[in-house]
Chains A and B, each alone.
Chain A
Amino acid sequence: MKAPDFDYARPSSLQEALALLAAGEGGAQPLAGGQSLMPMLNFRISTPEMLVDLSGLPELRGLEQTPQGLRIGAMTRYCELEAFPDLAKIQPLVAAALPHIAHDAIRNRGTIGGSVALADPAAEMPAILLALGAVISLDGPNGPRDVAADDYFLGYYETACEPDELITSILLPKIEPGDSFGFHELVQRHGDYAMAGVAIRSSGIAPLAGLRIGFFGVADRALRVTALEDALNGTDGTDIAGALSHLSEIDFQGDTKITAETRAHYAGVALKRALKEMLT
């Protein structure tokens, strides 16, 4: 299928872009790497009146290590992040997850901002943001604002970013000595969206402490289950059966590949395996 007809603009400043979005009154849609938006256009699922191409905005560029952490401009492509010097030391969780996101050719165009804006429930990045306690910077008609990852993912493809706002950057807080990370996802084929997955940060192992566990591919959005984290904090992470009962807080979703019940089971398996890898 061919994309429906639309207008196209490539603004050269953030202000210009925001003005176009505002003027579009919901009919204008940002275009970042297009790796999610283009398939939707090609299926005519998405029928915007105008695409606002973000590639010309200097304000959305940049990838740098700051005293607060790694600041990722919204238009940073996965491949640029992958190539960032010492990524595995600076942000080991991100480095571990990137190879699992789609394929090379898609990571060559897909952006971090696009993934976070879309908030696909099975995408890796949102769960990583939750695990790391990231901060998402937005800008819009009412000026810039920062939203904590915990307050950002609201529902099925629904986020705190309003239609007339743009994500400008994402801050991944600096990791502390003693932090440890876990990542595991269940996929039938390499690069697929996960059937269930977890991204974990802990400020210690044996015992686990200050856990933040982002689940993805389980429900309507990436999410944390704080009761489960609390149950694991202070333990050595080997006996998790009790903690797993808190998974019942998640409203697991079924799809054509698996039922909600199996998803619930897979979420537990992914958690167990991620913890096991962390602890060995």
Chain B
Amino acid sequence: MTGPAMIFDKPNSYIGQPTPRADAARLLAGRGRFVDDLQLPRMVHAAFYRSPYAHAKINGIDVTEARAAPGVVAVYTGAELSKHVTPYVGVLSHLAGLRSAPQHPLAVDAARWQGEPLVMVIAQTRAQAEDACELIDPDLEELPAVVDSETALDAETPVLHSEFDSNLAWERTVDVGDIDSAFAAPGVTVVERQFRFGRHTGVTLESRGTVCDYDPSEEQLTVYYSGQAPHMMQVIYSKHLGIAEENVRVISNDVGGSFGIKIHTYGDEIAAGVAAKLLNRPVKFIADRLESFMTDIHARDHVVTAKMGISEQGTIVGIDFDDLTGIGPFSMYPRTSAIECNQVLNLTGAPYAMENYRAKGRVVFQNKTLMCQYRAVGHPIAMAIADCLLEDCARSIGMDPVDVRRKNLMADDSYPRNSTSGMKLDDLSHQKALEKLTEIMDYKGLRDDQEAKRKAGVYRGIGFVSMVEVTNPSPMFYGIGGAPIASQDGATVRLDAGGALHISSSITEQGQGTNAILGQIAAGVFGVDIERVKVSTGDTKTVPYGGGTWASRGAGIGGEAMLQAAHALKEQVLEVAGVLLQTPVEALDIKNGCVVDAGTDNERMPLADLARTVYYRGNELPSDLKPELIATRHYRVSDFPFVFTNGAMAAHVEVDIETGFVKVLHFWAVEDCGRVINPMLVDEQVRGGVVQGIGGALYEECLYSPEGQLMNATMADYIVPMAAEMPEITVAHIETPTKTSVLGAKGAGEAGTGGAPAAIMNAVNDALSPLGKSIWQMPMTPERVLQVINRN
């Protein structure tokens, strides 16, 4: 096998180049293909009547008037729909003890969050379907709602699911070393803080949506899906609608952002599939923004009480914390809602060498929108606990935040090793990343500026985070627990008669540039101009079987499969070339679409000639040569549960202490995602991630009334980062390829979102430090900052 060096150092390799994306031109010309763009013959539209209450008993729903409304084709209540679709339960066997109740696409007996779909109306137009929804007359009996996660386990709080004894969904404890003795040791300073992480959500610009089409003549359900995991959805539609898996085709064309939002089972989308099957015609459902806020999964919503102990010399002796998280009324199917808490338990303090660690996590049910995996699952919480406590500790012993990290970050030459929580770590570069960070940000200069500004009554702060990001998950993530989620991905490379490559992959594109990097890898490894590579992804009927794009696995897993496939095809092609050219295979190579003499690059035969000979004039080949000009390879991570990316980031902020407004002046991110396949794409991934992280840190929160009503379900009230307030973001890289693959790529998509909140919180607290004040709640809204400033 050709060694990695040969693959990456070839003169016409695209790996590592800032190659522009081929699909950009189409999107810029307004020729995108998003779900709502689809117009199929006989297509009808779905709208949902949703629960106005956070918790209510459904005594009955009268839909007579709605059925008679203009344009209405069909109306289904939860009870009616449940005859055609089975309920689902979001549990995984490896999350021991996790429990959840059966969930129906449309609620049957009780509504358990405001916005839960109760009735589906199908009409000629969406507007007519909505008109009919207004005619629905439900008999709902409002029940007391469990809203506050902190009282969800109290004896007097009603229990949401009658089959359980409490609102506890899952709990886990990790206990390593002896934290109590470590904290009690002489000379150890212990800081304790209570963190609050507000609920926020993905706010993909393209909302969720689907077009489901059923053709009874072939018993085929075709689902146009805006999402990340087509094969997973294929299994889910098949299983719950009772259609053979092979008769469900899931197609994901352009996806207008996902970030983990569009990778779950949503009742309205499943119901649209059922309606298509019952009506034998296409049904479109596009969530409007109100529906998105009320039904897209939410994330975070953690209350964490945490302690860190540090020695006089600045060595972390341990971390002890208790994480409580509210997940809504059900655990989301099929990925479950315990993963975020589990990640917090696994990841907190992972960059640091320490001996003692105790972490307790509890996940509780409540009457709010379901909570599940959104970009950087658990990371912002885990990073904030460790890194914000670390800077708090450093302040209390008078140590510089960079020095304290230098002292405690795992040494770059100390891998492979385990994190204190027991995660296998390899190929990380925390120390190098931190050094590079302090260089590019001119740390000394910023501190001098801070000094000077403080004298003028201007409060600026600098905050850091050293972080890990879970990427390239192995079967240990979901597969082991029984979820229908592939942990491997496949890639196919085909040489066509004209000498072009057609490649396909089971990973999917939501704007990361998946298709572009697949093209770069195939073109570079095989040896053709990238213009001659055509990429297909997102269609269960045509691509190899695999997991899709989530948990930053696209480049690392899907990319490696593509590398292997391109390499295999190259070997196959060279075998044919060797025979046709009567030359030993070792003496040949492929470059720029030509078979060449290895070493001299003397052109021997264009690939089109070779392919045409094989496809059209097989008579010219020896009869024992049976060329395959197509190769497929699959890849999974085997020796590690995940491959970790690491990074170091810093934020520079100014706090207006009279109003509590925080302005982010600049942000720096140094990222080690192993081999960088396309720096331009990675940098934008990091920047976009950082901005989402800033959103979580400063702006975004789903606010509920005590009755469980979501009070800010519009884009005017739920505020997201816009261009004017966002800083310039400087990105730099360290490249420590992972040894788990030839490609050496780790994921990069989530680091910014995972790390930025802690860096911003640290920067705000650094700015407030002359006042002796600090804030431990996200988002750090102006009012909250002001309140801590004014608190005695």
Contacts and interface: CB of A to CB of B under 8 A. Distances in A.
Interface residues of A, number: 24
B725 A43 contact: no
A186 B725 CA distance: 13
B786 interface: yes
Contacts of A195: 782
Contact of A259 (B127, B717, B783): B783
A269 B288 contact: no
Interface of A: 1-5, 39, 43-44, 186, 188-193, 195, 256-259, 262, 265-266, 269
B550 to A, nearest CB: 30
Contacts of B125: 2
Contacts of A188: 661, 699, 719, 725, 781-782
Choose among A192, A193, A257 the residue with the greatest number of B CB atoms under 10 Å from its CB. Answer: A257
B700 to A, nearest CB: 11
A256 B722 contact: no
Interface size band for B: 20 to 34
A4 B69 CA distance: 14
A188 to B, nearest CB: 6
A43 B126 CA distance: 14
A42 to B, nearest CB: 8
B722 A189 contact: yes
A57 B286 CA distance: 38
Contacts of B722: 189-191
A258 B782 contact: yes
B783 A258 contact: yes
A190 B724 contact: yes
Nearest to A263: B783
A262 B786 contact: yes
B598 interface: no
A175 B647 CA distance: 58
Contacts of A266: 659
Contacts of A5: 127, 131
A39 B715 CA distance: 11
B781 A257 contact: yes
A190 B703 contact: no
Given A186-B661, A188-B661, A2 B725 contact: no
B130 interface: yes
Nearest to A254: B783
Contacts of B782: 186, 188, 195, 258, 262
B234 to A, nearest CB: 31
Nearest to A1: B288
A85 B425 CA distance: 66
Contacts of B781: 188, 257-258
Given A2-B126, A258-B782, A43 B719 contact: no
Contact of B127 (A2, A186, A190, A256): A2
B703 A44 contact: no
Nearest to A195: B782
A274 to B, nearest CB: 14
A189 B725 contact: yes
Contacts of B661: 186, 188
B37 interface: no
B290 interface: yes
B570 to A, nearest CB: 51
A12 B446 CA distance: 63
Contacts of A3: 127
B442 interface: no
Sorted from nearest, which 3 A-B pairs have the closest CB atoms?
Answer: A2-B127, A190-B724, A256-B712
A265 B719 contact: no
A99 to B, nearest CB: 11
Given A188-B661, A189-B719, A269-B658, A1 B783 contact: no
A2 B289 CA distance: 11
B126 A256 contact: no
Interface in B708-755: 711-712, 714, 716-717, 719, 722, 724-725
A102 to B, nearest CB: 10
A186 B719 contact: no
A257 B725 CA distance: 17
